[in-house]
Amino acid sequence: MISNRELFLKNTAQTSNSPRLIEVERAEGIYLYGPDGKSYMDLVSGFNVSNIGHRHPKVLEAIQDQLSKFMHVTVYGEFVQAPQVHFATELLAQLPSSFGSVYFTNSGAEAVEGAMKIAKKFTGRREIIAARKAYHGSTQGALSLIGNDAYREAYAPLLPEVSFITYNDLQDLDLISDKTAAVFMEAIQGEAGIRVPDRAYMQALRDKCTACGTLLIFDEIQTGFGRTGKLFAFEHFGIVPDILMLAKGIGGGMPIGAFVSAKEIMDVIKDNPMLGHITTFGGHPVSCSAARASLKVILAENLIPQVEEKAQLFRSELDIPQIKEIRGLGLMMCLQLESFEQVYAVSNYCAEQGIIIDWYLHCETALRVAPPLTISKEEIKTACKIIREAIAKFC
Ligand code: PLP
């Protein structure tokens, strides 16, 4: 009989020539299980999605409850659907009062697309600034903001009037002007290999955008929902962006994203022309129910106050000379090695030993570590022992 792996390679689109090929039969908490019963500790949270672990019982309960009522009923923005309405209200309650309206999407890239559109229409300007080494998604608009020439050139032409500044470089803020509609920034650069900006830089960026009438748009698609030790990473910097883009960890494992802004900014899509931004499945009621439950779990289980202590435990357990640097904030971490060969060998060995770690799109010399926030101290010690073992073998 043809195996699932063979069918995967034959019939599903391949995004690289070397997929990991780990077959998942089920997942629970911080573990994935293969069909042979092998368990894997998921130290990347399905790429910053499973912040509360896989299949959290409260999320399952919320999904089942919603399934018993209704699933898709109409395009987003027409009928009143309780899961959307309540989730928007609960999300806004966690944000500064300058935010007043939520648009739900299916994914992070779609949140970026929507944010670009409202920024251009609200300001009446066309120019957008993003950061070198940024990653905001793979759709054409989001890809236009990618600060990596290889990807830009492969899919050119992308959006015009996009320019780039160097992340965390104060001097480059001079490029923001009264022609700039918006500056798109990751609160912490993820795919660049976890670059945490200085507080002074973020404050200067905020000031410059305010002075130019430019909207500051934060991508918290990787950093949101407790990952960095705050519910949202912008809280670390003492500033508030104008638009917040969310996805990944928002949904407790279900597909959902959002862009959030002041009501007067969001309202530009209502008319002139009407229906300026529409989606069929965005804000799916089952996803919104899961997201509501997930947010409740993050807050009720006090996961955020534990993040820093767990991060420190990782740092002390991985304090070995072969790791040149551990960058990050909270449980969004990066272990800097010397070469991709080392990263590849270490992550393969770890997978054989039942630990999933990975690397970054724009930084292949560093290991990605971003476990579910629910990971226990014992599990951290077990994982770090295997990572140390792998590093001793290959670095
Ligand atoms: N922004 C950031 C910072 C991301 O890391 C990603 C995905 O990895 C995206 C946007 C795009 O999100 P999605 O894959 O849901 O479209």
Ligand 1 centroid to residue 241 C-alpha, Å: 18
Ligand 1: nearest atom to the Cα of 110:
16
Task: State CA 272 to chain mean position distance.
Answer: 32
Cα distances (Å, whole numbers) of residue 213 to 32, 124, 259: 47, 11, 19
- Residue 392 main-chain phi, psi, to 5 deg: -60, -35
Closest residue to atom 1 of ligand 1, CA basis: 136
Strands 243-246 and 257-261: antiparallel
Ligand 1 centroid to residue 136 C-alpha, Å: 5
Fold for the domain defined by 58-300: Aspartate Aminotransferase; domain 2 (3.40.640)
Stretches where the chain sits below pLDDT 50 are none
Whether CATH 3.40.50.720 fits 21-51+306-394: no
pLDDT at position 322, please?
A: 98
Ligand 1: nearest atom to the Cα of 109:
16
Ligand 1 centroid to residue 68 C-alpha, Å: 31
Strands 180-186 and 215-219: parallel
pLDDT at position 179, please?
A: 98
pLDDT at position 284, please?
A: 98
Ligand 1 centroid to residue 109 C-alpha, Å: 6
pLDDT at position 250, please?
A: 98
Ligand 1: nearest atom to the Cα of 107:
15
pLDDT at position 175, please?
A: 98
pLDDT at position 261, please?
A: 99
List the domain boundaries for the chain: 21-51+306-394, 58-300
